[in-house]
Chains A and B, each alone.
Chain A
Amino acid sequence: MYIWIGIIIAAVITGILEWKSLLQQGKTKDLVVALSILTLGTTLYLFLLFEVPMPTLSQLLSKGIEPLYKPVARWIMEDIDNG
């Protein structure tokens, strides 16, 4: 049930280890890109964890391309009884 605690702790530890190793071995750009991705992922995970009201990715994309897919979807489903 509390797997999220493990995930958050793992993300923080990963961040610290990446910071340490990339400061020594990599370039600043590597560090910035890696930590940005990690922060983005962890933030999204926290948003989902605390049930921040936001549309899902499917809803977002569906809204974005609604004028394009709606006519096709209607045509596809027009003869389906239980559609």
Chain B
Amino acid sequence: MDKESSISSVQFAVLMYMFSVGTAALIQPHLMVLLAGQDAWFTLVIAMIIQLALASLYMSLAYRFPNETIIEYSRKIVGPYLGTIVSCIYLLYYLMLGGYIIRVVSDFIGSVILIQTPLDALSLTFLIPALYGVFLGLGVIGKAAQILLPVALGVFILTALLLIPKAQFSNLLPVFPNGIMPSIKGTYPVLGFPLMESAIALMLFKFVKDKKKTKKLFYIGIVASPLTSLLITAYTIMVLGVDMTARAPYVVYDMAKEIHVERILERMEAIVGIIWMSTTFVKMSLCLYVCTLATVQIFKVTSYRYLLIPLVFLLLPLSLWVANNTTEVEEFNRDVYTIYTLLPGLFIPVLLLVIARIRGMRGISEQKQNQNE
């Protein structure tokens, strides 16, 4: 492991938090409120519990093979042929996820800020900084995330403070008018996007330097993400009400439009966009990094840097190909994505953990790995 690609436990937790918040907090409140109404906040309480269970699964597997990625140890656990199939599933999953993230953000910018700008241009604008970040290494992405997190949180807190006069707690009432079922149903889209996406930790854990502290920090980072979404969703309902939240696709952006401080402070929505730009940068960089890493490990390429630019030229058309329009992306997120994510996010990790436990398999120690290298 070289210096450029190693990250600290804190950086790992920050990366996982920003990856998990990513684009989800931008579009998920709308979907959850559509399904669960004013009880959407409770959906995220359930999501937090599920996220903790998933995090515990990923950490069990990652600590068993601390110096390998899931691509490397899946070949050991299930054999080279099945292992290659598992690796390809992960590669395709993160390629597709990369395409979706770029598409969601480009759609968002193209429909509310830079109207009439071609999608290709918007996608490229997002891809180029991510490409440069990945070129410099995971350590640099980790440091960038540490810088961007306070900026994003600062904007988030400022927006929340400025919207206090508009927030009406009564919008969250009555609690559970149709029982608890709508909240449970609302969890379905959240399960895939973003809860099970955190399986990316299985690719990145290898690069953490101080692994003893990682578990605790990972749990904090990963649970903070649904907590952030909970706050955003509750706030959105309080400011805009249930009907408006269920109708608007980029509800957080619409919420920011409500900020008026006399005539001094208006049109704050573009500043709120900073939150999504920063979290999306981290998410896209990690997706590109993982795609490159997976390709390198599957095809045994000498350096990941050889594949970076070709992968950008694949991700760009992929982001255009994923769907014809925003509605199709939304329907896919709501209905299909969770089922699709079950394989890389739940079934494969569970299967690998069970087989590794039965066969008593453990990964190579760092010392041994250094000797081999």
Nearest chain A CB to B241's CB is how many angstroms away?
Answer: 15
Q: Tell whether B295 is near chain A: CB-to-CB under 8 Å.
A: yes
Q: Mark A1-26, 1 if CB is under 8 A from B, else 0.
A: 10110010011001000100010001
The complex places the Cα of A46 from the Cα of B80 at a distance, in Å, of 35
Given contacts A56-B324, A72-B188, contact A30 B306 (CB under 8 A): yes
A33 to B295, CA, bound (A): 9
Q: By DSSP majority rule, is chain B's interface helix, strand, loop, or mixed?
A: helix
Q: State in angstroms the CA–CA spacing of A40 and B321 once bound together.
A: 13
Q: What separation, in Å, do the CA atoms of A5 and B321 have in the docked complex?
A: 18
Q: Is the CB of A75 within 8 A of B320?
A: no
Does the CB pair A37–B334 fall under 8 Å? no
How many chain A residues have a CB neighbour from B under 8 Å?
43
B50 within 8 A of A: no
B310–chain A nearest beta-carbon distance, Å: 4
Distance between Cα atoms of A27 and B340 in the complex (Å): 36
Q: Chain B residues with Cβ under 8 A from A47's Cβ? A: 317
B154 contacts chain A at the CB level, 8 A cutoff: no
Bound-complex Cα distance A68 to B338 (A): 11
Please tell me if the beta carbons of A73 and B334 are within 8 angstroms of each other in the complex: yes
The 8 A CB mask of B284-302 against A (1 = contact, 0 = none) is 0000000000010001111
Which residues of chain A from 23 to 53 have a CB within 8 Å of any chain B CB?
26-27, 29-30, 33-35, 37-38, 40-42, 44-45, 47-48
The reply on B307 being an interface residue by CB < 8 A is yes
Chain A residues within an 8 Å CB radius of B302: 26-27, 30
Measured in the bound complex, the distance between the Cα atoms of B303 and A69 in whole Å is 39
Closest A residue to B187 using CB positions: A76
Q: Which residues of A contact B335 (CB under 8 A)?
A: 62, 69, 72-73, 76
Minimal beta-carbon separation of B347 from chain A (angstroms): 12
Chain B's interface size range is: 35 or more
Give the residues in chain B near A33, CB-CB below 8 Å.
Answer: 295, 299, 301, 306-307
- Assuming A62-B332, A73-B335, is B321 touching A37 (CB within 8 A)? no
B275 at the interface (CB under 8 A from A): no
Residues of A within 8 A of B188 (CB): 72, 76
- B313 on interface, CB distance cutoff 8 Å: yes
Give chain A nearest CB distance to B256 CB in angstroms.
25
Q: Mark B319-348, 1 if CB is under 8 A from A, else 0.
A: 011111000110110111011100000000
* Residue among B246, B316, B324, B334 with most chain A CB within 10 A: B316
Q: Which of A3, A30, A41 contacts B313 (CB 8 A)?
A: A41
Residue contact A14 to B309, C-beta cutoff 8 Å: yes
Bits for B238-263, please: 1 = Cβ < 8 Å to A, else 0.
Answer: 00000000100000000000000000
Q: Is B133 an interface residue (CB 8 A)?
A: no
**CB < 8 Å neighbour of A58 from B121, B320, B322:** B322
For B324, list chain A residues within 8 Å (CB): 56
Asked whether B318 is an interface residue with its Cβ less than 8 Å from the other chain, the reply is yes
Chain B positions within 8 Å of A37 at CB level: 295, 307, 310-311, 313-314
Indicate if the CB atoms of A58 and B329 lie closer than 8 Å. Answer: yes
B interface residues, Cβ below 8 angstroms from A: 34-35, 96, 99, 118, 120-121, 124, 178, 182, 185, 188, 246, 295, 299-303, 306-307, 309-311, 313-318, 320-324, 328-329, 331-332, 334-336, 338-340
Q: List 28 A-B contacts (CB under 8 A).
A: A3-B121, A4-B120, A7-B313, A7-B316, A14-B313, A18-B306, A27-B302, A30-B301, A34-B301, A37-B313, A37-B314, A38-B310, A38-B314, A40-B314, A41-B310, A41-B314, A41-B317, A42-B313, A44-B317, A45-B316, A56-B323, A57-B96, A58-B331, A58-B332, A59-B328, A68-B339, A75-B185, A76-B334
